[in-house]
């Protein structure tokens, strides 16, 4: 479902000098850049032509939708503490979260290609991206990965770090979801 964009795709950097494409498992040179994260404005990730197209078509998908619909999607994807925002910072925050979600969405697509069941929903695929784990996983590998992440993001070791706290919540939610999935299948 990669639709052809009207935009011309001109590499931002010579392909011989380009870093590898940012999508896991892709070996193409990443000559095309896309904004990276909510923390570092002006920092980019690099994609090959196929994946920048995919990335952009995800953007187009959201561009055609209302703010409510996008917010609903983000709300469903992002768990944890939501501060009261001023309108402007709210929009900015939403935009950055959306980028993260889209990025995870892309990673998820890649995971599915590597063997996740085709009927696995977006929530599950995002949970796998959050846990940085691939399908098929086992109870043991899931637990081991959970312990590793907990050591890194537990509030006790990141005193007062809101981002670590939010990540910790996301990890816990993802862990529960993935664990339940194993039991039900
Ligand atoms: Zn690629």
Identify the structural domains of the chain with CATH numbers, from first to last. 11-63 (no CATH), 65-184 (1.10.287.110)
pLDDT exceeds 90 at position 175: yes
Tell me, what's the pLDDT at 158?
Answer: 83
pLDDT band at 4; cut points 50, 70, 90: very low
Tens of pLDDT, residues 29-48:
888 887 765 445 466 788 88
Residues in CB range of 167: below 8 A, 6 or more apart = 153
User: Contact at 8 Å (CB) between 75 and 13?
Assistant: no
Long-range contacts of range 73-77, CB-CB < 8 Å, 24 or more positions apart?
73/98, 73/101, 74/98, 74/101, 76/123, 77/101, 77/104, 77/122, 77/123, 77/126
Query: Is residue 111 within 8 Å of residue 134, measured between CB atoms?
Result: yes
Residue 121 has pLDDT above 50, yes or no: yes
What percent of the chain is predicted at pLDDT more than 70? Answer: 56
Interval between CA 125 and ligand 1 midpoint (Å): 19
Which band of pLDDT confidence, cut at 50, 70 and 90, is reported for residue 84? very low
Q: Which residue has the higher pLDDT, 12 or 78?
A: 12
Distance 105 CA to ligand 1 centre (A): 14
Tokens 């609903």 found at = 72
More confident residue, 65 or 158: 158
pLDDT of residue 62: 61
**Does the pLDDT of residue 147 top 60, yes or no?**
yes
Looking at residue 66, what is its pLDDT? 62
The answer to whether 23 and 47 have CB atoms below 8 angstroms apart is yes
What confidence category does residue 83 fall into, taking pLDDT thresholds of 50, 70 and 90? very low
Ligand 1 centre distance from Cα of residue 1 (Å): 16
**What's the CA-to-centroid distance between 88 and ligand 1, angstroms?**
34
Q: How far is the CA of 87 from the centre of ligand 1 (A)?
A: 36
Hey, what long-range contacts does 11-17 have (CB within 8 A, 24 or more apart)? 11/49, 13/46
141 C-alpha to ligand 1 centroid (Å): 27
């Amino acid at each position: 479902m990669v639709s052809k964009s009207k935009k011309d795709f001109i590499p931002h950097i010579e392909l011989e000098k380009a870093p590898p494409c940012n999508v896991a498992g892709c070996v193409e040179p990443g000559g095309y850049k896309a904004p990276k994260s909510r923390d570092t404005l002006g920092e980019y990730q690099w994609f090959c032509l196929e994946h920048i197209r995919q990335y952009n078509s995800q953007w187009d998908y959201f561009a055609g939708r209302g703010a409510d619909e996008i917010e609903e999607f983000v709300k469903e994807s992002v768990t944890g503490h939501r501060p009261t925002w001023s309108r402007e910072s709210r929009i900015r925050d939403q935009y950055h979260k959306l980028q993260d979600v889209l990025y995870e969405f892309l990673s998820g697509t890649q995971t599915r290609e590597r063997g996740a069941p085709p009927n696995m929903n977006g929530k599950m695929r995002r949970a796998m991206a959050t846990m940085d784990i691939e399908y098929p996983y086992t109870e043991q590998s899931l637990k081991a990965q959970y312990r590793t992440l907990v050591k890194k993001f537990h509030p006790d070791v990141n005193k007062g770090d809101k981002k670590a706290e939010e990540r910790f919540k996301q990890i816990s939610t993802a862990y529960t979801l993935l664990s339940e999935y194993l039991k039900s299948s």
